[in-house]
Structure formats: structure tokens, C-alpha cells
Structure 1
């Protein structure tokens, strides 16, 4: 779902923005709040917020740091002073995660924790987003926990296919994993051997990633969960020291995410050594949003927006586009075009390429271009060339000798890229083929 944001007002306590989304035809206002720390000023702030809400017709939501609590259960430690946050017809959006979003980080009885960060909305907004909720995330270096508004909170996530992660190349132990997998004994053609060795490597890398290296996202979530648990535990000195140690480890894993997001962003002009995770992350989100297909307009003028309907629509259009027709074929086709290539040129084109030529072709390719169906980018072959290079050379040379290629190596992903902003029918998308590296070399 694509989302646009237009800021219409801002001051020291509130940023008011109109939210435009694909699933909601009319915009709705979102108020990002930083409540005044002083109680005397907060009363005037709530009056102001109520006036702004009334100025906007339709559903609305407000979330952020309200700097106040509405009931005693939202505070632990210190004196409990709750206050009215909102009108009776306003709703409080629930949350998941740690119960408190702020702590003064002091020890023992001096420690105070509060749920200062809230989300409010009206009934119409909650009806419009029935699965909406707030996620309390774990912090690494701040006394506040960040909160995430999710308009469609789901408990389950789909299984993800194997992806070779560029950050794996930073671990020396990954070479041993690839070497062991490449020792797999396989009988058959050189192309078949390459495919089976890639299968073995894929299995071993997945096992190694889970047991030894660990998925960076899972590890970050694990560290954040431990930090969140410490935030609700007894604020003793040993717990505060452990939390500081976990914060340092979390920072280390966040650095590994940098290379991961660079790989996803496809920003090929940026040097590998440059570290800017936020830039790569933003580039990835922008690229995904630009290429996302949210809805399609059919020939009869109706619209479809579910994944299954859009998939069926494109499948039928491709079948119609590439369906062969029974046309008369001329018997003598060889004489339609006069020869323009000499015998010497033909021999040069048909000769078996040398080992060095194949190596140069591989190393001239962009390392992090989108991979084909086997999900091994060129970076994999470059980094582990001493181990895998010989097999891809043999598979390439075998094709030039026999003229045959394993169909598995010839498989291709077809990506649909919008030709312009707002593309909404089949003819407004261009096709991009994503080939396996071996096929591109040939």
C-alpha cells in the first residue's frame, strides 16, 4: 500500500499532516504530538488539539509523546499523578511490547517508568483500520522507546525464500561453509553439477546462518527483547550494566545491517565502504514503493486490488501476448537474409572461451545486481572464486562445446517495472529479465 504525507501545520508541540493512501480514497489527518513537559501548559495544549481536531472533518489519529499519563497503571515508581488526556468520544489505541515507553534510568527506588507515548483516534478512524495497533519497540541509547503505528497488525509473516546476504562475505567462516558444500560429489553434465553444488551451498548457508552466524534481523530482535525485559525488571546496578552491554552489542549488529540494506537498495554508484544504513534503507523503501503494483484497471473500467486478482490478470495477458497463431511459414528461410558474417568471424563466435575470458566476464559484472531464480548474485562468485570458479568455467565451456544448457540454469525471473507514475494497466509496465549468473556469462 502506497502512502503520501503532506504537512499542513507544525509548531513546537504538534505536527499536523494529511495522509493519502491507496486503500482510503480521501485523506485523513495525523497529529504527531510532543506534549508540553509542564502540566500548566498541557491544559492549553489539549484545548488547542481539540480545536484542531474539530477543524478537520472525518477520521483522524494522534500519536507521540504526550508527556502525561491517564491512569496510575501507566506509571511505576514515584508519585502517581494522572490527568484527563482526551474527550469521551476519543479512543485509546492498544499496544504490544513493553508496558512503559520512558524511564529515568536511575537505580533502585529512584527509578521511574511511564507510558508517555500514546495513540488516540476517533471511532471512524478505528473502524476504517480495525486491525490497527501500536508497537512499543526497544531502544538502544535513548530513555524513550520508539513507537510504531501499524494499521494492519498481523501475527504471522510469510516464509521468505533463500537470499544470499552480502554481509555474509564479512565472516571468514562463510568460506569454510562454501568449500565444504562445494565438495559434494555429483555425477552428470557440468551444468548439472553446478546446479547441484549451488543447491548444497544454499542448504549449508541457511544452516550456518541460523546456527552460527544468525540472521541479523532475528538477532537484533532478540537483543531488543532482552533490553525490553530489562526495562521492566528491577533497576539494580547489575541490570543497568547488562543493559548497557546489550546496547553495545546491538549497535554492532546494526552495523551489519548496513551492508544488508545496501544490497537491497541497488544503489550501485555508492562505494561498498560507505556506511549509511538510513540512506540505503530509504532507497530500498522508495524503490519498492515505486515498483509496487497496488491496483489494476481492467478493460471494462473496473478495478482490482488483491494479489490473487492482479496475478491472474497478468497471467492471462501474458498467455494472450505469447500465444502462437497458425500462420503460413515459407519453406526456404535461409535465403531471406544474405550472410554478413565471414567464416573467420563465425569461427571466433563459436569457439570455446578460455578460462581467463570467463573469469574477466564474471568480474566485470556488477556485484549486487538483482539475482536470478537461484538467488546467488555475482558477488558470491567473485568472493568465493577460488572455490566455485572452476565449476562455472566448466559449465560455460560445456555449453559452447555441446550447444546445450541445463533448463534449470536457463530459468528467469520476469519483473514488471512501471513505465510512469500511476501505471495501472498491463500495457503500462515494461518487462525486466533477471537471469542466473551462469546464463548471463554464456
Structure 2
């Protein structure tokens, strides 16, 4: 109703000079329409926020639509370098590497060394640090664990490892070897 009145007064204004009462009414109605329009935008934003909160992290089509849009907004298709457009991946990688190498530079060697023997510190042979753990070493570590505490986030206590060692020892050793050998 208010929008129709404003449009009617706009049309009348194109044809003739509005009376002061009509101008004031048009101004008030236009402000009223702008206020309602702003309220509609606010409601739409709130509805979108509620939808984002409800469905944003769920594995829905809406989530994938948002993620795809974000991916395309963040995707760099080309770089403009000194007036030349670089669009291939390898070229952009080389340009970025050269730029940041110029910004950050390269590490300079200090040239300083420490002579530990002159300080009276004898070198230690660390060759045995790379030897794989033996089953006896692991079993000794398990026996030293407190029975009522879990060493990690899995919740298995020392009592569990001690009571099931004969069943799980091969899997535990495989896991330790995979971890230590990278």
C-alpha cells in the first residue's frame, strides 16, 4: 500500500508540482518504504545466518556449494608480473618463489664453529641411537609403566599392556618400528 502511494505521488510529481502536504506525505512514505526494505534485508541476513548455523558444517549440498564458492574465490588463476600475465602453475610457482626469495633472502652462513675438544668436551658416539628398539627394551618400558595410568589418548592403561603383551607384542613392535623409521 505504501509503495503504491509513493509510486502514485512520483507519477503525479512528473506531471505537476506537488502540494506541500503531498510532498510531505511522499517523503514520509518513502522513508517508511526504505525502513521496511532495510528490515527485509536484515531478516533475510538473519535467516541466512540461521541456515548457515544449521547446515553449514553438515555434509549437505548447501555445505558443498559454500565450500566450492570459497574455493573459487580463493583460487589464483593468473599473476600480473611487470605487465606480463603468468597463468600456468609452474610459471606462477617460479614467480612467487623468486618474489619471496627476494623479500626474505637466503640464510647466510655464520662461519662460526665450536671446538668442543678445546673446551674439554669429548664427543659422544651416537651410533647406537639409530639401532631399532628390541622387544626386550619395549617390554622393560611397559613393565615400568604405572598400572592405572594411560600413556596416550587411546585410554589403554599400563595394566592392559602388561596383561595382553603376549597377544599384542608383534603389532606394538610393528607400530614402533613404523614410527621410528618414518
State the TM-score, normalizing by the size of structure 2. Answer: 0.33
The structure whose residues are more often helix, as a share, is 2
State the TM-score, normalizing by the size of structure 1. Answer: 0.15
The structure whose residues are more often strand, as a share, is 1
Higher RCO structure, 1 or 2 (CA under 8 Å, sep 6+): 1
